[in-house]
Chain A
Amino acid sequence: NAGVMQNPRHLVRRRGQEARLRCSPMKGHSHVYWYRQLPEEGLKFMVYLQKENIIDESGMPKERFSAEFPKEGPSILRIQQVVRGDSAAYFCASSPPGNSLQETQYFGPGTRLLVL
């Protein structure tokens, strides 16, 4: 059973460009979470999605950031008009469906975004 997959693993963008980060959850998992890790910091929650629904995006910056989890295909975190401050590691996690959400989240290897 493959784990959470993220691509690309490394992404370099110039200021003003767009960054698209992809996440495929573990097989059978329907909950996807995105977290951001700034250098020497812990992870910070960004958004929680289920298929075709954004459940909680309270951790997302109000502008330039968006996320989706379509019926088919991976979840996408999109950052428009990137700035240097967007440079960070972006991690996706997934968890299985069920009533008890306070369970283990399984993390992908992350995408390291560098904005020049």
Chain B
Amino acid sequence: SQQGEEDPQALSIQEGENATMNCSYKTSINNLQWYRQNSGRGLVHLILIRSNEREKHSGRLRVTLDTSKKSSSLLITASRAADTASYFCATFGGSNYKLTFGKGTLLTVNP
């Protein structure tokens, strides 16, 4: 298994619903980051949560981190069609600079 694995692999919801994606990792971390990738595009950094934080908000995004379970979740509230994208969590694992990504969750928000 890879450091930083997201589930579900794919999620399809209706506009206005909330979307929750989960991420598990293996090694100890200093922080965990979430990125979004629209189809065929680059990665956009969404949010960084540090190991001493349990929850963080940014607009419609809410990220939680449970270091005892080595897991994180990303909640997108009141989803919009424009939120359709792949979402990746990333950690540095045992390195200071090698970001390790999971395979991502493909979120589809239907209008």
Contacts and interface: CB of A to CB of B under 8 A. Distances in A.
Contact of A109 (B31, B41, B48, B97): B41
- Among A31, A107, A109, A110: residue with most chain B CB under 10 A: A107
A93 B45 CA distance: 11
B96 A42 contact: no
Contact of B96 (A44, A91, A93, A101): A101
B43 A91 contact: yes
A43 B101 contact: yes
Interface residues of A, number: 27
Contacts of A33: 97, 99
Interface string A89-108: 00101010000011111111
B77 interface: no
Main DSSP-derived SS at the B contact region: loop
Interface residues of B, number: 25
B103 A41 contact: yes
Contact of A45 (B33, B88, B98): B98
A55 to B, nearest CB: 8
Contacts of B27: none
Contact of B98 (A41, A56, A104): A56
Nearest to B31: A102
Interface string B28-51: 001101010000111111001000
Interface in A25-63: 31, 33, 35, 40-45, 48, 55-56, 59
Contacts of A56: 97-98
Contact of A42 (B30, B45, B92, B104): B104
The 7 closest A-B pairs by CB, nearest first: A42-B101, A109-B42, A101-B96, A107-B43, A45-B98, A43-B101, A101-B97
Interface of B: 2, 4, 30-31, 33, 35, 40-45, 48, 88, 90, 92, 96-104
Interface of A: 31, 33, 35, 40-45, 48, 55-56, 59, 91, 93, 95, 101-110, 112
